[in-house]
């Protein structure tokens, strides 16, 4: 499949709820609701408390309900909704909360799935593909931005739960080459997809399989989208599926990447519990799937000490600790609230005895232990204000301390959207460190640079 224009970052940043325009805040709320991360509860609730725009408030209400905050919605709305849109959103949240929680279907045991696509962080498709091979998965190829395709069938048991560095699972129901994504192409995709026998063998049905329809790689007018939805509905309703965009357990996605069109089935048949340790949230927290990918850029080695000098809520350290059972984890942060959150999250992940967090300045070399790995999602300087006004100085201090404390054979993994400051810090330490690899990923609409360094 050829590459299509970027569809946008799949890993929303809660800090975008404070964006200057209502439309940007509304999109952030929608993205957080779709991601379903429980760590977004507090930022969403605070945003709803402060928000005045009716459309944004409606999206915040829906997002809160989607991530499990129906009770919070009720308390925040108070005596009643402030607009018709808000009232409709509140009704949807109440309706969802009243469901019995049973999915429309469960996977049958012992399945082997073909035509499997895995969603990855944008920009990290190739590294994730290599990571999965090391974990014993079939080889994969980059199919498109954000998607890799497994080259062989795989047992369902390997994908439930998903690997930590994978964001989602898709199954290709049908594909075709077409000069344009039009009604005829939609009809052909639907006919081929609905005609496959898989639905009869994939699931043990215990009710209606509810789906949400969307299109990717194109932006058709609303009337066109509704017409395509009608065609999809007509093809899949005879299979026991029903269109239910506000309460669904799977998605049917038409993806267009000229000249290829694909109809994907994206299941959401069970709750994703991989990152339930994120009990406490911090501003601008790294997405846990991205964190899981970054910490796997360096193989687990002999037992050693891993340091995150700007640890925030501890996600990077926790993901490294889960990946490397022998690692001792040390987190530094000048924000006491972040340290409290990191301790709570590490305890929830079962890493409390292996993790030590200190409310300390990472510029001071006295706060650094000897270590075998340094991993950090460095502050970008966009939302942190004057405290991080000298990002180059901060980055240089971190890299200088890391190089001084790193044991022979150790590695440093640094990520930042401030490419100039990151490259400046690496250049300043070129006599002590060497660049082993460079990567990038997209977060909150920003291109984040990643460097993997070793000692000279």
The answer for residues whose C-beta is within 8 angstroms of residue 276's C-beta and 6 or more apart is: 38, 348
399: pLDDT strictly greater than 80 = yes
Residue ranges of domains in the chain, CATH in brackets: 14-97 (no CATH), 105-267 (3.30.2130.30), 288-455 (3.40.50.150)
Using the Cα atoms of residue 304, residue 310, residue 311 and residue 317 in order, give the sign of their dihedral. negative
| Residue % of the chain over a pLDDT of 70 | 88
Confidence category of residue 45, pLDDT binned at 50, 70, 90 = confident
Report in angstroms the alpha-carbon separations of 247 from 183, 189, 386.
Answer: 26, 24, 43
230: pLDDT strictly greater than 80 = yes
Confidence category of residue 8, pLDDT binned at 50, 70, 90 = very low
pLDDT one-digit tens code per residue, 49-81? 888 888 898 888 888 888 876 667 777 776 566
Cis peptide before 161 (omega within 30 of 0): yes
pLDDT one-digit tens code per residue, 151-181? 999 998 888 889 999 999 999 999 999 999 9
User: Residue 105's pLDDT is what?
Assistant: 55
Provide the H-helix boundaries in 255-307. Answer: 288-295
Tell me which of 211 and 348 has the higher pLDDT.
Answer: 348
Using DSSP's 3-state secondary structure scheme, residue 410 falls into: strand
> What is the spatial distance between Cα 268 and Cα 270, in angstroms, rounded to a whole number?
6
pLDDT one-digit tens code per residue, 321-347? 999 999 999 999 999 999 999 999 999
The average pLDDT across 230-242 equals: 90
Most confident of 86-90, 244-248, 449-453: 449-453
Using the Cα atoms of residue 382, residue 387, residue 388 and residue 390 in order, give the sign of their dihedral. positive
Edge-to-edge order in the sheet of strand 371-377: 355-359, 328-333, 305-308, 371-377, 406-416, 446-455, 433-443
| Burial class, 99, CB count within 10 angstroms (exposed 0-12 / middle 13-18 / buried 19+) | exposed
3: pLDDT strictly greater than 50 = no
Confidence category of residue 9, pLDDT binned at 50, 70, 90 = very low
User: Residue 43's pLDDT is what?
Assistant: 87
304: pLDDT strictly greater than 70 = yes
Structure tokens at 287: 């997405």
The angle formed by the CA atoms of residues 88, 94 and 97, to the nearest 5 degrees, is 145
Q: Select from 293, 338, 345, 344 the least CA-distant residue to 315.
A: 345
What pTM was computed for the model? 0.79
Confidence category of residue 103, pLDDT binned at 50, 70, 90 = very low
- Lowest mean pLDDT segment, chosen from 153-157, 180-184, 299-303, 356-360: 299-303
């Amino acid at each position: 499949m050829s590459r299509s224009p970027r569809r946008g970052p799949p890993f929303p940043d809660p800090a975008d709820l404070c964006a200057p325009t209502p439309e940007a805040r509304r999109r952030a709320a929608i993205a957080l609701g779709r991601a379903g991360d429980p760590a977004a509860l507090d930022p969403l609730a605070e945003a709803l408390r402060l928000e005045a725009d009716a459309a944004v408030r409606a999206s915040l209400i829906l997002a809160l309900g989607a991530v499990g905050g129906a009770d919070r919605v009720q308390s925040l709305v108070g005596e009643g909704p402030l607009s018709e849109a808000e009232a409709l959103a509140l009704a949807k949240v109440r309706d969802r909360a009243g469901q019995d929680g049973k999915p429309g279907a469960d996977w049958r045991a012992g399945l082997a799935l073909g035509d499997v696509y895995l969603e990855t962080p944008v920009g990290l498709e190739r590294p994730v593909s290599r990571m999965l091979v090391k974990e014993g998965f079939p080889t994969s190829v980059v199919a498109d931005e954000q998607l890799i395709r497994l080259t062989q069938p795989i047992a369902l048991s390997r994908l439930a739960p998903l690997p930590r560095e994978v964001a989602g699972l898709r199954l290709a129901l049908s594909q075709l080459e077409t000069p344009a994504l039009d009604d005829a192409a939609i009809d052909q995709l639907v006919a081929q997809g609905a005609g496959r026998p898989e639905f009869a063998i994939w699931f043990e049905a215990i009710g209606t399989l509810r789906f949400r329809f969307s299109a990717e790689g194109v932006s058709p007018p609303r009337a066109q989208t509704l017409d395509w939805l009608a065609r999809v509905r007509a093809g899949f309703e005879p299979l026991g599926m029903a269109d239910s965009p506000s309460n669904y357990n799977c998605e049917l996605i038409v993806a267009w990447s000229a000249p290829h069109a694909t109809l994907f089935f994206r299941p959401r048949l069970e709750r994703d519990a991989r990152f339930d340790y994120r009990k406490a949230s911090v501003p601008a927290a790294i997405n846990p799937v991205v964190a899981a990918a970054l910490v796997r850029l360096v193989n687990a080695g002999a037992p050693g000490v891993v340091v995150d000098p700007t640890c925030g809520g501890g996600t990077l350290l926790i993901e490294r600790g889960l990946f490397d059972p022998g690692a001792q984890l040390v987190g530094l942060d000048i924000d006491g609230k972040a340290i409290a959150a990191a301790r709570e999250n590490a305890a929830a992940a079962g890493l409390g005895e292996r993790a030590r967090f200190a409310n300390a300045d990472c510029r001071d070399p006295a706060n650094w232990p000897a270590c075998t790995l340094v991993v950090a999602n460095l502050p970008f300087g966009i939302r942190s204000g004057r405290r991080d006004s000298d990002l180059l100085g901060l980055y240089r201090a971190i890299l200088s301390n890391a190089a001084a404390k790193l044991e022979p054979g150790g590695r440093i993994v640094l990520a930042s959207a401030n490419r100039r400051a990151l490259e400046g810090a690496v250049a300043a330490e070129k006599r002590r460190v060497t660049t082993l690899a460079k990567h990038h990923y997209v977060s909150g609409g920003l291109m984040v640079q990643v460097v993997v360094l070793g000692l000279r």
